[in-house]
Structure 1
Amino acid sequence: MSKKIVGEDGKTYVQKKPFYKRVWFWLIVIIIVIVAASSMGGGNNKATKVSSTTKSKSATENVSKETFKVGDTIKADGVTLKVNKVEYNDGSSISQPDSGKSYVIVNVTITNVNKSKASYNPLDFKIDDKGNQTDLTEIVMDDNGNNIVNDELKYGDLSKGATVTGTLVGQAVKADKLQLLYTGSLFSNESKITVDLN
């Protein structure tokens, strides 16, 4: 608040606060600090391969490539992800994929390695079919009306050391180069892990 002062000449003057005592100044400082901390404090978000079903060199192996393959155990942001298997399904009389596409059924395992809590969600994953990125939230029914997937990946939280395995279903052209993209967060557009599915 401004302070009113009566001068020796009898006039009233308004004494303003210095800029560093104003609320707007401190809001700007706080915003700058938060932006700087978030851009620097993210740590090493680069995905690294921990192990592979085809290789067994060392317990932790840094991988220079950014794309992994089915069977690799990949670590990013304190969580490991492993794509266990990929299957394709052409549907049934009840569930049919879009014309020219097949259902892509991806089984994954997520482990919280060193975070106090790690959230998981099927919306953390996308299937990339030549640049067309779609969710893996399809439900496929067999001819009897039963879901062909018994272990759908739901959403939840993993405490440190906990693991969840589940299946995701999407649609894509089977002959195209398909990739699984894992962002690790519903609010992140940048994929942290990319796995070649075929």
Structure 2
Amino acid sequence: MDNQKKQPKPWYKVWWFWILVIIIVLVLGGMMNDSSSSSSSSDRKPKAHKVSPFKRTYKVGQVVNYKGYKFKVNRVKYFSGNSMDTPKSGNQYVICNVTIKNDSHEKQDYNEMDFQLSANGNTTDFGEILTSGNYENNTLDSGSLDKGATVSGNLIGQAKKDAKLKLEYQPSFLDDKTINVNLN
């Protein structure tokens, strides 16, 4: 009898070692290919740099777009009052005519309480009601807009005659972010 034991094969000659090497090479090659293709595709299509509506200040006549909810301050009028409608001493009425459009894919609610008047940093509601003129028939209330629908109306507030005025729109009462529109 031959007492010689079979010598094991060296580790680099074992079949499972080469299968493992091939799998590792394929995985690493695939990872490198994915990273190079994603960087080259981003080089071909530069992403549009969008400025958040919260980081810019709008002017009267500019459309503000927040997730398909669009609004525009069409015009601003000032009314010093009369015998039926009298603002506080030194104040005047500020009447902002606003149009809201729903360009989203679902029904959107709107509410006049989402808008506020800032006068020199003092923020108040647009809660004034005028009984004279054509203002009482065209105030913006609250409601819902179907996709593509629009509504227009007046927001009426009070402010000092020489105040720096802004309309502030707060899309969510849970969030303290506002969109600002300079009114003067």
Distance 1:147 1:165 in 2: 14
Q: Quote the sequence identity (%).
A: 44
Q: How many Å apart are 1:102 and its aligned residue?
A: 0.3
SS in 1 for 2:151: strand
Q: TM-score, normalised by structure 2?
A: 0.68
Q: How many Å apart are 1:177 and its aligned residue?
A: 0.8
SS in 2 for 1:123: helix
Letter in 1 for 2:61: G
In structure 1, the residue matched to 2:183 is 197
Q: Check if 1:90 corresponds to 2:77.
A: no
Q: How many Å apart are 1:156 and its aligned residue?
A: 0.4
Count of matched residue positions in the alignment of Structure 1 and Structure 2: 135
Q: Which has the higher helix share?
A: 2
Letter in 2 for 1:85: R
Correspondent of 2:115 among 111, 125, 130: 125
Letter in 1 for 2:180: T
Once the two structures are superposed, the pairs formed by residues 139-158 of structure 1 within 5 Å of their partners are: 139-142=129-132, 148-158=135-145
SS in 1 for 2:113: helix
Q: Check if 1:173 corresponds to 2:160.
A: yes
Pick 1 or 2: higher relative contact order, CA cutoff 8 A, min separation 6: 2
In structure 2, the residue matched to 1:160 is 147
Distance 1:163 1:152 in 2: 14
Q: How many Å apart are 1:94 and its aligned residue?
A: 1.8
Q: Is the 8 A contact 1:45 1:77 kept in 2?
A: no
Change (3 A) 1:188 1:97: farther
Structure 1 vs Structure 2 CA RMSD: 2.0
Q: How many Å apart are 1:190 and its aligned residue?
A: 2.0
Q: Is the 8 A contact 2:57 2:180 kept in 1?
A: yes
In structure 2, the residue matched to 1:75 is 65
Q: TM-score, normalised by structure 1?
A: 0.63
Larger Rg: 2
Distance 2:135 2:117 in 1: 19
Q: How many Å apart are 1:74 and its aligned residue?
A: 1.4
Which structure 1 segments of 5+ residues have no match? 1-43, 49-64
Q: Is the 8 A contact 1:120 1:184 kept in 2?
A: no
Once the two structures are superposed, the pairs formed by residues 31-50 of structure 1 within 5 Å of their partners are: 46-47=52-53
Q: Is the 8 A contact 1:84 1:107 kept in 2?
A: yes
Distance 1:126 1:115 in 2: 27
Distance 1:156 1:187 in 2: 19
In structure 2, the residue matched to 1:61 is none
Change (3 A) 1:45 1:125: farther
